[in-house]
Amino acid sequence: MRVCNRGRQALLLGISLLVVFQAACQLVDTPAPGKPAGVRTESPPIALVAPASGPDVAVTAVDFEPPLKPGANLAAGDISLLVAVDNRGDRREKDIQVVAQILGKEEELLYSDARVVDSLAAGEGRVVQLGRLAQLPLRSSYTIKVWASAVPGETRLENNAKTFRVQISLSSP
């Protein structure tokens, strides 16, 4: 399996650093009502960089949990999407909607999920864990689109979304 994206290494490094930081600090998340214990949907905030002038929310990285390996079955239901969202603006933002879609050929919608980040201070980032990829039909390629909704007054929207293409090898052993 190969992900076609020139920024893939930087993306994986960013997600890896966030995951290592969380593990090192042994951060614990209380599950929301109706969620099974041990299922995390978003991480605690992480301080990032000095905020820019005005509102600016950005999707900075996308990865799978657990990380994809050759031969991974996306339809097995044991893989979820992780999306890193940063508040690069100069004020606290609330109710930031994070959406992910997985599309097949000809924009066929195969998966869609959304989560809301309740609050994110200026200069903070958070990793949002979306739902499992249960019953995802097997395809030779997928297009993954993720985005964060624009916050009030935000004008820099080019960093709110990312799109990736995942190629799957369907050859038999």
Burial 9-31, CB ≥16 within 10 A → b, else e: eebeebbeebbeebeeeeeeeee
Q: What is the mean pLDDT of each run of 10 residues along the chain (173 residues)?
A: 40 39 35 45 55 83 82 68 93 94 89 93 93 79 92 92 82 53
- The answer to whether the predicted template modeling score (pTM) of the entire model surpasses 0.95 is no
CA distance 44 to 46: 7
Q: What per-residue confidence (pLDDT) applies to 49?
A: 53
Query: What pLDDT is attached to residue 10?
Result: 39
Task: Compute the distance between CA of residue 93 and CA of residue 101 in angstroms, rounded to an integer.
Answer: 23
- Residue 80: count of CB within 10 angstroms of its CB: 20
Superfamily of domain 2-30+39-167: Immunoglobulins (2.60.40.10)
Domain residue ranges in the chain: 2-30+39-167
pLDDT of residue 166: 81
